Amino acid sequence: ETGVTQSPTHLIKTRGQQVTLRCSSQSGHNTVSWYQQALGQGPQFIFQYYREEENGRGNFPPRFSGLQFPNYSSELNVNALELDDSALYLCASSRDRTLYEQYFGPGTRLTVT
Amino acid sequence: AQSVTQLDSQVPVFEEAPVELRCNYSSSVSVYLFWYVQYPNQGLQLLLKYLSGSTLVKGINGFEAEFNKSQTSFHLRKPSVHISDTAEYFCAVISTGANNLFFGTGTRLTVIP
């Protein structure tokens, strides 16, 4: 069984640029949730995708957007990057929107300068 | 609204000593409760969860937690810690009917040889 993978591992961008982060869900999982973890903080829920549709969103502006593909992998896109977007971005996969058994990837460390 | 408070940001403890990491939550409805561990440069791993039933929950790596509804607490305990337990620990809550996890700010456990 393949675990959750994320790419890239690290990324450095300049303020105002756009970024795309990728997540491959665990085999058999059809739900992906994205979280932002700022330094010294707990993860904060960005949004969840279930069967290619957004299924809930946290308190993040519209410049944070996502996609889920037919193979249930997912992308997180952030436009007009701000310095405060610097964080570890985690994705987690699960079955059928459940949050009780989420499996997290290792994360992508984004630095905005 | 729901929230999670982890009262201690850092907990140093000697090897083979017991440890308790504290977590309190607030929610107006029933909750599900979780503890996750994050090792350096890694994603989150589920230690244990409380969904229903017995209020004493046993997890991986010898950890356990007790759900106390009257105290709105879900403290994590281990009777004897190892060096390998050094990590960041996060308490998280889902209110029934919600579709996202709320995390605390984390407790850094450092085991001293």
Contact check, Cβ <8 Å, B100/A45: yes
- Convert the pLDDT of each residue in B50-82 to its tens digit: 998 899 999 999 999 999 999 999 999 999 999
- Considering only alpha carbons, which residue of chain A is nearest residue B106? A42
Q: Taking Cα atoms as reference points, which of B104, B84, B111 lies closest to residue B18?
A: B111
Burial class (CB in 10 A: 0-12, 13-18, 19+), B6: buried
Q: Which of A6, A23, A45 to mutate to test the interface with B (most CBs of B within 10 A)?
A: A45
**DSSP state letter for B15:** T
What is residue B96's predicted lDDT score, i.e. its pLDDT?
A: 75
Chain A residues in contact with B42 (beta carbon < 8 A): 106-107
- Which of A55, A56, A105 is facing B43, going by the closest CB pair? A105
Q: Taking Cα atoms as reference points, which of B17, B22, B21, B37 lies closest to residue B79?
A: B17
- Convert the pLDDT of each residue in A73-103 to its tens digit: 999 999 999 999 999 999 999 998 888 888 9
B60: contact with A, CB 8 A cutoff? no
Interface of B with A in 20-39 (CB under 8 A): 32, 36
Euclidean distance between CA atoms A37 and A6, whole angstroms: 15
Residue B62 has a CB neighbour count (10 Å cut-off) of: 13
Euclidean distance between CA atoms A56 and A5, whole angstroms: 22
Positions of chain B with pLDDT lower than 70, given as ranges: 1
Tokens representing residue A2 in the block:
């393949």
